[in-house]
Amino acid sequence: MTLAVPTARAEQAPLAPAVPAVAGARLDVPLVDGRQVPYANLDHAASAPCLDTVRDAVDELLPWYASVHRGAGFASQVSTKVYERARRVLRRFVGADASDTVVFTRNTTDSLNLLAKALPRATSVVLFDTEHHAALLPWRGPNVHRVQTPASAGDAVLALDEALRATPVGPRLVVLTAASNVTGEVWPIKALSEVARRHGARVALDAAQLAPHRPIDIRALDVDYVALSGHKLYAPFGTGALVGRADWLKATEPYLVGGGATAQVVDWGDRLGVAWSAVPERHEAGSPNVVGAHALAVACDTLAENWEAVVDHERALLRKLRVGLATVPGLRSLSLFGDDHDRVGVVSFTVDGIESGLVAAVLSAEHGIGVRDGAFCAHIATRRLLGRAGAQEERAVRISIGLGTRAEHVDRVVAALRSLVADGPAVEYAVVDGRWAPVQDPRPLPAFLAQ
C-alpha cells in the first residue's frame, strides 16, 4: 500500500488564537550556578503580571493625569471621564446592571471589609471556613456562622442549607468563594446561591481567583455582590472593586472618611455636621486612584475580548501540568471536591520527605521558577486539606498558571521536581529569617536595586 505524503500546507496545524501578552514575558533571571534562564512565573494566583495593553494604556493616560470630579482644568475633566468610564467597564465585565453600584477599592480584602461595615444591624453571615482570609475575617460577632470544609460540592450545598436553617430570622448574607486559591476548584456558585435565595439571604462572591480565568455574570449566578482585585487581573496598579446592590452601602456611613466622601461639612460649635456624598463616592474617600481604575478597566476589556483564547490556553496548560505532576514520586496534590472537579489553573501539593519551603527555594535558585509555598492566606483550608492528603507538614507548594505561562514552563517545573526527588538539591540550603535559601547565593539583584 502506498501512503500519501501530505503537502506542507496540510502538515500545518491551525494556530491557536494568541492570548494577550504580559510584561516580563522575556525576563531572564540568574541561577546559583551563574547561568541565566527565562523566568517561569508560576505564581499568578498571588499577583499576575501586567498586561501589555494595560501598560500601554497607563503610559497613554499619564500625561493627562490630574484630580477628578472637582477639577476645572481640561486634564481634570479627561481624568474624570476616564475614572467614570472605568465604572461602566467593571459593571459590564461582571454582568451587573445600571442599578448596581461600582465602588473602587484597593483590592478584594478592602472590598469585603467595606461590605462588612455596611451590613445592617444583626445581619447573620454564613460562610465556609475554606475562605481566603480576605473573605473569612471581616465578619465578626455572634451572628457569624462558619460551615466546616465540605467533602464534595454536593455536601457544600447541603451544609449551607442546614446552616441557613439554623440562623435567626432577619437579614442574612452568604459569603462564597468563586474559585479556591488553594486548589483552584470552582465552587458550585449557582447551586449555593439558589439555597441562599430560598432562605432570603443575599450572596457576596469573592471572585479574586475566578475573574482572571473565566467570565462572570452576576445575574446568571444570582449573586448580589462581586469583589475582585486588579493585581490578580493583570492590572497591578493598586485598585480593586466591589460591584453590586447599592442599598446597604447607601444606608451606612463610610468607614474611611475624608475628602470626596463628604458633600458638606458645617461647624455646629460643639461638633461638626457632615452630609455624606452619594454612593459610590461616599466610600471612595481621598484622591481616587485614577491610574489604577483605568488599568483595571483596560484589563477587563482585554480579557473580555479574548475569553475563548484565555480559557483554552489555561485548560491545555493545566491538563499538561496535572499529567506531569502525576509522574513525580511522592507528590500529593490537594483537593476539595476530587480530581475530576472543574478548576482554574491552580495546583497545590506536598512532596514526601521534602519541606515545601525547600521545594520552592530549589525551584527558584536552581531552575528560575517562581512558585508559592505556605498556607496561602487560607490557613484553615490548607491545614485541613493537608490532613486529608496525609501530609506531615502545615505548608504546601502552589503552582498557578495564567497568561504568562508557556508549555516550556510546565515541562521545566515537572522536570525540576523529578530531579529534586531523585537527586536532592544541587547546593546547600538553610533556613534564613524563616525561609529556605541557598547558603551561598551569588545571584545578583537587578541594577536598580544595586545602589
> Among all residues, which ones are annotated catalytic?
377
Element (H, E) at 40: strand 40-41
Residues 6+ apart with CB under 8 A from 379: 133
What are the cell numbers at 431?
533556613
What are the cell numbers at 58?
497607563
Q: Is 372 helix (H, G, I), strand (E, B) or coil?
A: strand
Q: How many CB atoms lie within 10 A of CB 311?
A: 15
Q: Is 26 helix (H, G, I), strand (E, B) or coil?
A: coil
* CA atoms of 240 and 218, how far apart (whole Å): 17
Question: φ, ψ for residue 53 (rounded to 5)?
Answer: -65, -35
Residues 6+ apart with CB under 8 A from 432: none
Residue with cell 447573620: 124
* CA atoms of 133 and 361, how far apart (whole Å): 25
Amino acid at site 101: T
Strand partners, 40: 369
Please, where are the H alpha helices in 199-347?
218-221, 247-250, 290-304, 307-325
Q: Is 95 helix (H, G, I), strand (E, B) or coil?
A: coil
Cβ–Cβ under 8 Å, residues 437 and 430: yes
Alpha-carbon separation of residue 399 from 41, 321, 346, 417 (angstroms): 9, 9, 6, 12
Element (H, E) at 287: none
Residues 6+ apart with CB under 8 A from 59: none
What are the cell numbers at 373?
509555598
What are the cell numbers at 333?
496534590
* CA atoms of 376 and 382, how far apart (whole Å): 8
Amino acid at site 434: G
Residues 6+ apart with CB under 8 A from 281: 69, 260, 261
Q: How many CB atoms lie within 10 A of CB 197?
A: 13
Residue with cell 484597593: 106
What are the cell numbers at 395?
505548608
